[in-house]
Amino acid sequence: MPSCFSVYIALVLLIPVLLSLRNPRGETEQNASINFSPTFSFSITSLSSRDTSDAFPFNERIRDGSNLDYDFYRDSCPEAEGIVRSAVTRIYSDHKDIAPAILRLFFHDCFIEGCDASVLLDDSDGKENRSIEKQALPNQTLRGFDYIDLIKNELEQTCAGVVSCADIIALAARDGVVLAGGPFYPVLTGRKDSFQSFYEEANNQIPRPDDDVNQTLGRFALRGFNERETVSLLGAHNIGKIGCDFISQRLYNFHGTGKPDPSIPPDFLRQMRINCQGDMNSSDDKVSAAFFTRKLSESVPGMSYLQALSSSVSSGSKFDTHYYESLLKGRGLLFADQQLMAEQKTARLVSAYASDDGSTFRMDFARVMLKMSNLDVLTGTQGEVRLNCSRPVRTTV
């Protein structure tokens, strides 16, 4: 473990340097005209934002994470990040689905009103009839809450009331990505938890599996993600399963035609139909649910991108470029995934990611996850630290 730990520390210190030094145009020599605009830069200086944090307005959500801190809990709960990491590692050994499950919770949380753990709330803030964010998605597809509760529980035993649920999601998502074979990236901490959840926003703003490429890019652009970042973020579909609920309409009743999506290659259609048999009546409601939603348990019908690429694989996941390779072959599982090939600007990115050993994708994914984890966070006197992740302590807004 000591050597692991020092590697970890070395990576923490190195990665930001790599991210900042990296020439954002240099990674795809195949076509220099690809617009890889470096809108995001992360430098080592932002790791010590504590000194300057007073300069930031406390009543605003800050999108770039500049009000977060490196190792925020170093004094209040020095074990915090280690506890999260070892809990995720332990759970992962029996439940591989923790990685995609928490990754999905993380996306959903950060995408709707920022990374504030609003997705975890059970409470409707005392307002009758106010539906909660959790319910904005088909409830049976939401998973990972139990894992967060387990981790929170361990943290509460060591440092009661100190570590926010929003930080737990961000840290656990990163640790899960690493365990699943994905890249390491540093996660700043100091997020506070929201007092409320955001049902309408979740319903209206989350990317949908039946979005076309323009809609997908538009939704991500509203969150400050450019085309390249959006395409790299969708690489999260490398791991986990996509539930048949989100695939079936494409297979049996595409856009109400009673026929499959004509763009699906026949052999792939057959393969997908074997995995997702005939729920012709799967409703629009289900299909229009969260883009990142998928059935995560191995026992639930669904398909992974590893299966999409190789019919000889029955399940499993690997954090490499097979998502992009699948799209190049027309073997995207979701309509929205395959749509990345419908516009040249995104198709070029897909082929750039698919065409090396995966290092371009991994670097971009690390970078975009870091950006996502800093999205519109609550810090300082905003929000609170929940004691139970599904319940606000104070119910004032």
Report the binding-site residues for Ca(2+).
109, 114, 116, 118, 133, 320
- Identity of the residue numbered 183: P
DSSP labels, 325-352: HHHHTT--SSHHHHGGGSSHHHHHHHHH
Candidate list 23, 139, 157, 312; residue touching ligand NAG; CB under 6 A: 139
CB of 279 to ligand NAG, least distance (A): 7
Give catalytic status of residue 95 as yes or no: no
Q: With CB under 6 A as the contact rule, which of the stretches 55-63, 92-100, 107-115, 123-131 interacts with ligand NAG?
A: 123-131
Candidate list 35, 45, 281, 315; residue touching ligand NAG; CB under 6 A: 281
State which residue, 139 or 299, has the beta carbon closest to ligand NAG: 139
How many residues of this chain bind ligand NAG (CB under 6 A)? 19
Q: With CB under 6 A as the contact rule, which of the stretches 120-128, 157-165, 166-174, 298-306 interacts with ligand NAG?
A: 120-128
In sequence order, the 6+-apart residues with CB closer than 8 A to the CB of 26 are: none
CB of 88 to ligand NAG, least distance (A): 18
- Examine residue 86 and tell whether it contacts ligand NAG (CB under 6 A): no
State which residue, 145 or 268, has the beta carbon closest to ligand NAG: 145
CB of 347 to ligand NAG, least distance (A): 10
Candidate list 71, 79, 122, 201; residue touching ligand NAG; CB under 6 A: 122
Query: CA 37 to CA 30: how far, in whole Å?
Result: 16
Query: CA 331 to CA 270: how far, in whole Å?
Result: 12
- Examine residue 397 and tell whether it contacts ligand NAG (CB under 6 A): no
Characterize the bridge pairing of strands 302-304 and 241-243.
antiparallel
- How far, in Å, are 243, 313, 332 from residue 328 at the CA level? 21, 19, 8
Candidate list 129, 157, 312, 381; residue touching ligand NAG; CB under 6 A: 129
- Examine residue 283 and tell whether it contacts ligand NAG (CB under 6 A): no
Tell me the helix, strand and coil percentages in the chain, rounded to 5: 50, 5, 45
Residue that the structure tokens 């390249």 belong to: 228
Closest listed residue to residue 177, CA positions, set 296, 88, 73, 95: 88
Mask for 24-43, x = binds ligand NAG (CB under 6 A): ------xx-x----------
Residues 286-345, interacting with ligand NAG (CB under 6 A): 342-343
In sequence order, the 6+-apart residues with CB closer than 8 A to the CB of 165 are: 117, 120, 148, 152, 193, 385, 386, 389
State which residue, 53 or 355, has the beta carbon closest to ligand NAG: 355
- Identity of the residue numbered 378: L
- Examine residue 64 and tell whether it contacts ligand NAG (CB under 6 A): no
DSSP labels, 81-101: HHHHHHHHHHHHHH-TTHHHH
Which residues are near ligand NAG by CB under 6 A?
30-31, 33, 122-123, 128-129, 139-140, 212-214, 280-281, 342-343, 388, 390-391
